[in-house]
Structure formats: C-alpha cells, structure tokens
Amino acid sequence: MSRTLIELLGDELPAEALVTDPDVTASYAHDMASFCDAGTPAVVVLPRTVEQVQHVMRTATALRVPVVPQGARTGLSGGANATDGCVVLSLVKMDRILEINPVDRIAVVEPGVINATLSRAVNEKGLYYPPDPSSWEMCTIGGNIGTASGGLCCVKYGVTAEYVLGLDVVLADGRLLSTGRRTAKGVAGYDLTRLFVGSEGSLGVVVRATLALKPQPPQQLVLAAEFASAAAACDAVCKIMEGGHVPSLLELMDRTTVKAVNDMAHMGLPETTEALLLAAFDTPDPAQDLAAVGALCEAAGATQVVPAEDAAESELLLQARRLSLTALEAVKGTTMIDDVCVPRSRLGELLEGVERIADKYALTIGVCAHAGDGNTHPTVCFDAQDADEGRRARESFDEIMALGLELGGTITGEHGVGVLKKEWLARELGPVGVDVQRAVKATFDPLGLLNPGKLF
Amino acid sequence: MSRTLIELLGDELPAEALVTDPDVTASYAHDMASFCDAGTPAVVVLPRTVEQVQHVMRTATALRVPVVPQGARTGLSGGANATDGCVVLSLVKMDRILEINPVDRIAVVEPGVINATLSRAVNEKGLYYPPDPSSWEMCTIGGNIGTASGGLCCVKYGVTAEYVLGLDVVLADGRLLSTGRRTAKGVAGYDLTRLFVGSEGSLGVVVRATLALKPQPPQQLVLAAEFASAAAACDAVCKIMEGGHVPSLLELMDRTTVKAVNDMAHMGLPETTEALLLAAFDTPDPAQDLAAVGALCEAAGATQVVPAEDAAESELLLQARRLSLTALEAVKGTTMIDDVCVPRSRLGELLEGVERIADKYALTIGVCAHAGDGNTHPTVCFDAQDADEGRRARESFDEIMALGLELGGTITGEHGVGVLKKEWLARELGPVGVDVQRAVKATFDPLGLLNPGKLF
C-alpha cells in the first residue's frame, strides 16, 4: 500500500512542523483579500530549514500535490489562498536574520523575518531597509518578495524588488537554486533574482534573501496641504515632481477618505477639505524642502499648508493617512482595496474617473494614494450582507482597473495579482505577454504544482 | 529553387538597410574585446522600424540563420561578435528619442540612441539619466541594456537595469512582446523586463525602451586622496561607506595606473602614490560632505587630501581617472580589462591578490576600480606580438576571476559575459544555475538563433 502524503512528509519533518488538525489548517486557508475563493489544505507544513523545504517540494512533486507558499497572509489579492488538498508551506518559522553588514550594506535573512523586525535591527546599526507596506508590523520579507511590496517610501526609495540582490530558491522539484549576488553590481547571466521577486510563489520557494540596505536618512519632516478639489491636489503632485523635488513620501487622501477618518478618529480635519496631500522630506534640511513644496501647493490652489516643525508633529500629520483603510472599513463593514497605478501625470484623471464610477454604482469609494508614484488605492466600501451591493462593489472595482489601463497604467502597483485580478492580468499583458509568461511558468514548474490558480 | 537569405530579407527591407559587401560587413564582426573569436557575417541589416526587425527575425527563424544583435560594438567581452554566416542586426539606425516626460520622469527611446545624446537631451529638461559607461559618447542605450552597463555613477545611482521600466522586444520568432510599464510601480506578472536587461541579445531584440529618469542633481564636487598603500585606500572606502556617506562617485587607481597616467599625461601625480582615491558628492552641500570624507581618508592614513573648490577643479581631478585605460593601453600596446566585482569589504584582499598575480606572471596589471561598488577593472597590459606574454595575460586574467569568486564576488560587474567569460559563468552559477539559465534561454529561443555561442 502506498504511503500517504503526511507519512512521506514526516520522514524528514518533525511532528511539530506538520499541522493536520482541520480547525487549525483552516486558519491558513486565505489571506486578507475580499472576494477570493480559498480551498481546504491537506496539511500545513512549518519548516525550519532549507533541507526541510526541499523535502516538501520533492514529496509534492513525487505525489503531484500542489504547494501554496505562505508568509504572514497579509496579502490583498488572494495570492496565498489555499487550493483543495494542497500543502500549505508556511515559511514563518524560518525567521532568522543571518547577517547585517554595514560596510557592504547588506542583510541576509530567512523568508519568515517580519519586515518591522528587520527594519529595527538594521536601524540599530545605522542602516535603513526602506520597503514599508502598511502591514509592516506583521508581514514577512518572504511575502514582500513574493509580491514585490511597496509602501509609503517608494516615491523616493522604490519597492522591495530594488532591495533584493540575491535569493536562494527551492525549485518545484526540490533543487536549490542560488541567484544574484552579495556585491553592489553583477551581470553574470540572466537576472533570475528579479524573476522570482513578484512571482507570488509560483516559480519557486524563496528560502533565503540577500537584501541591499541604505544608510539611515535624517528623520523626515511632514507637510500637510488641504485642497478645495482633488484636481488641484493632483496638479500640486505634478508640480512637485516636475520641479525636481525628491520627497520621501507624497500621499493623497480624497474627500471620502478624509471624512471617514474624521468620523472615526475625530481628528478635526476641515469638513470642506476635498483632498489632503502629505509630503515629507528626509533631506539634510527638510524645512527648506517643505517650504519650497508648500509654495508649489499654494500655487496649485492649496487652501491651507501646515508644515510640521518636528518629528512628533510629523507623526501626528501622518496619523490620518495611517488610519485611512481602517476608517474606510468602518464605513460599511467591508472593503475591496484596489491598487491601480497610473503615470503620475494621469492621477487627476483617475481620481475624477473613480468619483464617476462611485456615482454610477451608488457606492462609497475612498481613494488614498501613494500620489508621487501614481499608485492609488481606490477602496470600495460595501455591506457584505447585501448581495446587490456586493455585486456592484465587484463591478466598480473592475471598472477602476479598466480605467487605469486606459490611462496607461497597471492593474497592480504593489499588491499583486493573486486570484483577485487573474482575468485582468491577461488584459494588461495581451496575448503575446500571456504566452511568454505561461512559458516561463512552465519552465520552472512543468507540473504546475507551485501556487496553482494564481496569476494566470 | 529556394530564395536566398538576402532575397528574403529584401522583401521588406530597403536596399540601403542591407549590407553585403564583405569589406564592410567585416567591420561589423567584433566588439572591443581582446581574445574573442569572431566569425564572418552573411549580411549586416540596419533596420529603421520595429516591423523591419520583426521581418528579420521571421526570416532568420524560417531559414534557421543565427542573428547577432549589435549596438555600437563598444562592449568588452565579445558579446556582439559575429558568428559565421549570421545576420548582424545592427540597431544603430533606430536612434530616435520618442518622448521625454518631466512629470512622469521617463524617456521613451529606440535602442540606437547614443547614451550621451540621451543624457544631454534629458539634461535640457532638468532631468538626469545616470548610467555613464566610459564609452558613453559612443555606446547605445540598446547596448547598455544588453549588458546592464554601469559606470562611475553606480555607487549612488546603480546600473542601467535600475532605469529600465519597460521594453518592446522582438522575439526569436518575430512576435512583438511588450514588458513592464510607464508607471513608477507595477507588479502585474513576472518581471520580464529585467530578464532581458543584461541578456546580451540572447533572448530577444530590444526595439524600444521606457527609461526612468532622476531630477538633475547639483553639480558634483570631487576630492582626491593619496595613500601610501592600496590597503589604506581600501580601508578608507570601507570607512566612508560604513559611515553612511552616499558619494556620487568613489573611484580608486592603484600605483600602476597612477604611474601609467603620469607617464602619458605628465599630470604631476606624486611618484610615491601607492593608491589614489577620488570621491565626489552631488548633494546640496558637497563641500561639507567632502570635508567629512576627507577626515575619514586621513584617519585611514591618506598622505594628502585635495578637495576641489569648484566644477573646473573637480573635472581636473577626474581627468586622471578618465585617462586610466588609455594610459594602461600605452604601456604594452594591448590590454585585457577584467571586471571582477567583490563585496566592498573584500576590496583590499582583491587588490593584494592582483598584485600577487602580476608578480607571478611577470606582468603589468593596473587596477582602476569603482571602489564604492567593489567593482574593479584589473587591466592586464601585454604585447600582443609576444605569444608567451599573451598566454600569461590570459592566465592571469582567469586567475583574477577565480580570486573574485573566492572573495564572494562575481566575474562581471558591468561588462557582461559574452564569449570572453563563458567558461567562468558556469563556474559562478553552478550546475543548477546553469541548468535553469539554459532552460530560460530555450524557452525564449528554442532554435538557438539569437546571439549563439554567447553566455553559455
């Protein structure tokens, strides 16, 4: 009689690394996305070593069982959702920081390290790991690599992809591949590192990463500017970027978001505010940069410009932005967070379009945006108990993606495709793009076992 | 009777785009690398449109004829060398800058645009395209993309790869693939853009690129520091980087290079100099940064520190560095320029090792280095007429790569693999790496027609 999946996994994994209790495994079934189906895992595996991950992949390949790699499941597109009968491969126990080197400005980490843990550890050595998705206190570096996560820092510092120098990856058949380098530069062969970054666990399982670090910049200083129209705020964004400024943060909240935050946290933001822009600089003389940017905001029609004078005031101004998603969730109980990114010169058109779409579907849609990147998070608020409202929410969500593509943008700036945006990926890539991407997938995972049903 | 390659190409290419005169085609046979074999092309094609490139690839696929894409042939590893009977596909006539957008901070260009032409064009709009290989007045953006070229700017601004947002690529079978985006961020599907960057024309033919731009920084100010030993100069590099400084340039010339430059240009550099370090800052207050870095150099044992006071003085200090390769070429008539990159903390060991290797082979080997990146160009000087010296040059060249790998480095920081370092690529990647890279190559180019014999 052939041995079972669990028995074979147990050959090289300790009992505590194998979770089969259905009540527990069910809690690993999905990430934080709405509207994404999730299956029932056969088993959750929590390896602690590279060899154990290799054993999982060899076993899965031998038995043709799908494997869903997972970090902290804070994703917003269902990219970590289980499929029926799969092995959930949770990397959260591989959570060691193996090295921090201030001369080479690199860190070597296992995939389960929490983003905030790494950020704090490198700070202690005068270094800076910029990527800061809003889930940074919970999400893992492995998960960040899987979706090439962004955050507030990107307008100056870019996304996770720009900080991944090299990877150790367990391939579908269990072989261990090392990509990239520890050096500042290197062009030996194809850039497979970047191929894995953002591949949502569909090409291999990242078990180690060499990350680039920056020196810790000066404390940033924040400015808030209120506008009587979203268009004026977007115009200010264009003026700031065209003016050659390099803010460390450039965020926008629309009227709906400002109101939601006010309603929840009573922050006393003026009810007349149609858009709030937050800009920050971590330069040697941030006050001077804020003065220049403040003047550009006024030229674009800002009704009020409030520069912070110190770190505490800056943090206070950022609170409104940090509370945005929670506040929008409170509006109707459930949200769908979109992630459309457009060229920043088209930001105004996107915001105008979202307002039109909200009217059309009679929905509340709040937009907060990494405005400097043109990366918006139109957030559809709806009552999950109301089937018709749910349907309208999904339709408006899709219409926003269509608008993003029309404006020369992308359906996802930093959240990934997962299952949520599968059909839309094909639309963005076009037939040749899809063919080539599928061919790449087949090269790395000919049996289609790694995170099946995601992306394509 | 079947029609010939030239006839079929002529179906959709004007006569002036097809060069068959053997005297002329011979001039397209190789790039600027030493010790790299080159074959005889059947024809050189100079297309002006994407459709013409597609026609070339369809024809080549139909007839199973190899295609070697070329830019300005300034490469240093034979990556653009012809193979016998190939179509040389020169992209130099596709040289239009299609767009420069200061709000979105992007440029859209054809592959034949000269690096310096683009740099000047964006400067006029207050923008900056950082990649600056030393051939920047001649080399093309397409060629830069092919090898992911670097330059002096990389210690602060990174290599070409970091500026390529999206590509249009003609695939081996003639299909047109669009990758990437115009937006600041985007994670829709696998990062195929980066897969093409540095692929040396072996996966597809880049026919259009969307490039990221930076705002034009302030004029940089340069400091020169002389050291009584290479070890002390490398120690200064480590102290500067560990100290959190972000120089816009951090270059090192060893004793041999300093002497060669002195001999050629009579610059009056002290004959006692064992190593010269050049640091620059393009910050708002570069003099202050230079003072801090100057102090670190002195702490590391610099015998003299000379900060420039203005742009003209800065340019003068940089002259020595710019003349390095020409000066080293003058030593014996021929050079082989290596491109080993090590973690910057191992730079001192590399320089020490190169000196040992020069002694062992009784050769002159000068090192100039992008020290801040750990990217060295040990340059073997030899007499090409002297067979034994040529053999020793090649052996020492290889031994330097072995040393680089031992120190945790890579065989190529920015020049690429081409034919020069094929055997060494396998050594760096290891068997799993080579297998996977070959599989990727086969996915994009199943018939092996694109730049055959390069990389692998």
CATH of residue A290: 3.40.462.10
- Radius of gyration over alpha carbons of chain A, in Å? 22
Q: Same domain, yes or no, for A307 and A355? A: yes
* Distance, CA of A431 to CA of A388 (rounded, Å): 33
In this structure, is residue A449 part of a structural domain? no
Burial letters B206-231, b for 16+ CB under 10 A, else e:
bbbbbbbbbebbeebbbbbbbbebbb
Q: Same domain, yes or no, for B341 and B383? A: yes
Extract the residue ranges of chain A whose pLDDT is less than 50.
none
pLDDT for position A269: 81
Q: Same domain, yes or no, for A276 and A205? A: no
Residue B348, min C-alpha distance to chain A (Å): 13
In this structure, is residue A101 part of a structural domain? yes
pLDDT for position A34: 83
In this structure, is residue B231 part of a structural domain? yes
pLDDT for position A2: 80
Q: Chain A contact for B329, CB < 8 A?
A: no
Q: Chain B contact for A154, CB < 8 A?
A: yes
Q: Residues with Cβ < 8 Å from A78, sequence gap 6 or more?
A: A30, A31, A33, A36, A37, A38, A418, A419, A420, A454
Residue A24, min C-alpha distance to chain B (Å): 31
User: Cβ separation of A414 and B203 shorter than 8 Å?
Assistant: no
pLDDT for position A1: 57
pLDDT for position B269: 81
Instruction: Find the mean pLDDT for residues B79-83.
Output: 97
Q: Same domain, yes or no, for A203 and A254? A: no
pLDDT for position B412: 97
Percent of chain B topping pLDDT 90: 96
Q: Same domain, yes or no, for A35 and A103? A: yes
Tens-place pLDDT, residues B8-26: 999 999 999 999 999 999 9
Q: Same domain, yes or no, for B14 and B47? A: yes
Q: H or E stretch including A438? A: helix A422-444
pLDDT for position A54: 98
Tens-place pLDDT, residues B392-401: 999 999 999 9
Q: In A, which residues are within 8 Å of B173 by CB distance?
A: none
Picking from A216, A240, A262, the residue at the C-terminal end of a domain is: A216
pLDDT interval class at B1 (50, 70, 90)? low
Residue A345, min C-alpha distance to chain B (Å): 6
In this structure, is residue A425 part of a structural domain? no
Q: Can you spell out the DSSP letters for A28-58?
A: TS--S-SS------SEEE---SHHHHHHHHH
CATH number, position A201: 3.30.465.10
Q: A251 by DSSP, 3-state: which?
A: strand
In this structure, is residue B448 part of a structural domain? no
CA of A344: which chain B residue's CA is closest? B104
Q: Report yes or no: A396 and A361 within 8 Å, Cβ to Cβ.
A: yes
Q: Same domain, yes or no, for B314 and B373? A: yes
Q: Which of B185, B410, B416 sits opposite A414 (nearest CB)?
A: B185
Q: Same domain, yes or no, for B84 and B104? A: no
Q: Same domain, yes or no, for A85 and A102? A: yes
* Distance, CA of B132 to CA of B136 (rounded, Å): 6
User: Cβ separation of A198 and B187 shorter than 8 Å?
Assistant: yes
Q: Same domain, yes or no, for B230 and B350? A: yes
Q: In A, which residues are within 8 Å of B182 by CB distance?
A: 343, 408-409
Picking from B389, B406, B423, the residue at the C-terminal end of a domain is: B406
Chain B contacts in chain A segment 202-221 (CB below 8 A): 203, 215-216
Task: Say which DSSP state B344 is in.
Answer: G
In this structure, is residue A185 part of a structural domain? yes
Q: Chain A contact for B406, CB < 8 A?
A: no
Interface test with B, best of A100, A185, A375, A428 (most B CBs within 10 A): A185
pLDDT for position A271: 78
Enter the tokens of residue B35: 């010790």
pLDDT interval class at B158 (50, 70, 90)? very high
Q: Chain A contact for B366, CB < 8 A?
A: no
CA of B286: which chain A residue's CA is closest? A284
Domain hosting A298: range is: 221-406
CATH number, position B68: 3.30.43.10
pLDDT for position B318: 93
Q: Which of B343, B417, B437 sits opposite A183 (nearest CB)?
A: B343
Residue B270 has pLDDT above 90, yes or no: no
In this structure, is residue B439 part of a structural domain? no
pLDDT for position B367: 98
What string of H, E and C letters represents the secondary structure of A387-417? HHHHHHHHHHHHHHHHHHHHCCCECCCCCCC
Q: Same domain, yes or no, for A133 and A189? A: yes
Q: Chain B contact for A404, CB < 8 A?
A: no
Picking from A406, A433, A451, the residue at the C-terminal end of a domain is: A406
Interface test with A, best of B147, B168, B187 (most A CBs within 10 A): B187
In this structure, is residue A300 part of a structural domain? yes
Residue B34 has pLDDT above 90, yes or no: no
Closest by CA position to B317, among listed B375, B361, B261, B365: B261
Number of domains in chain A: 2
Residue B154 has pLDDT above 80, yes or no: yes
Residue B156 has pLDDT above 90, yes or no: yes
What share of residues in chain A are helix, strand, coil (percent, to 5)? 40, 20, 40
* Distance, CA of B12 to CA of B78 (rounded, Å): 30
Q: Same domain, yes or no, for A164 and A20? A: yes
